Every structure is written in structure tokens, then in C-alpha cells.
Amino acid sequence: MTTALPAILFVCLGNICRSPLAEAALRTEAARHNLNMEIDSAGTGGWHAGDPPDPRAQATARRHSVDISRYQARQVRPDDFHRFDHIFALDPQNLADLMRVAPSNATARTSLLMDLVPGREGTAVIDPYYGDEADFETTWADVTRAARAIMERLAG
């Protein structure tokens, strides 16, 4: 028997730091569980559209054995709210911005990513853009916790 797996989109501001790492973390968990799911990421802003992830995000993913060098940033679009079952915002501002652009007939469920992690409800995955390598590692740890929580929900 096959069960339809949800299509999942992660959204941050620029789609070059946090949401590509969230995409990579969930791809890693899905591969580990042999699940072939649709996973993508986007930004509420379009300034970096077409760009690869920030070099520090690429380096962080590489340290965790994931190659994200071919990811390309894009801005969230109205059809994402139909194409994906779940849209996870990386911080509360991203969530507010998503709610503002969501079409009225959206079918996707849009929520805050860290609401999935017990004890972290309502909190942000802090933007590491102005930070250093340790901040990017914190991002990786946060998105990995969230990705594991998503997998547990799918398994349950």
C-alpha cells in the first residue's frame, strides 16, 4: 500500500541561508527513510532569485554531507499555496509575510516551522546572515530537529 506523502515548502526571507538548509535537512531525513517526497524552499523576497545558497550555508550543508550548491533561490508564488500541502515559515515575520500574500483559496497549511519542535513553539530559526559559522551550525541544528519532527509525524 502506498500513502500519499505531503509536499512540503520551507520559506525564509532570502532563500539563500535558512530555508535551503531546511530543505537539505528534510531531504536527508526523507532519504534515510526511503521516502520520495516533494520538498522545496523559497523566499518571501526575490532579491536573490536565481542565486545559489550563501557560501556559508553551502559549507554548513557540506559539513553534514549534503551538497546544496545547485539549489537556486526563488521567490514564493501564489501557486505554491496550491502545489504544497504544508508551507513552513522559518520565523514569525516570514509567517506574517506569507499570510499577507496567500491567495484566499489557498489549500496549503501555512505555519511556523519551530512550532513542530517541543519547547520551541512560537520561536524563530534565527537568521544567520549577519552571523558566523557557529550561527549557521545553530541553523542546521534547528532545521534538523524540525525535519525529524516532520518525519515522526509522517510515521505516526
Binding-site ranges for ligand 4NP (CB under 6 A): 12-18, 47, 127, 129
Asked about 18 being catalytic, the answer comes back as yes
Asked about 91 being catalytic, the answer comes back as no
Asked about 115 being catalytic, the answer comes back as no
CA geometry: angle 66, 68, 69, nearest 5 deg? 130
C-alpha cell at 94: 516570514
φ, ψ at 133 (rounded to 5°): -60, -40
86 forms beta bridges with 8, 109
Task: Tell me how far, at minimum, the Cβ of 155 lies from ligand 4NP, in Å.
Answer: 28
Which CB, 29 or 127, lies closer to ligand 4NP? Answer: 127
User: How many residues make up the chain in this entry?
Assistant: 156
Task: Tell me how far, at minimum, the Cβ of 82 lies from ligand 4NP, in Å.
Answer: 23
Choice among 54, 91, 127, 142 that is catalytic: 127
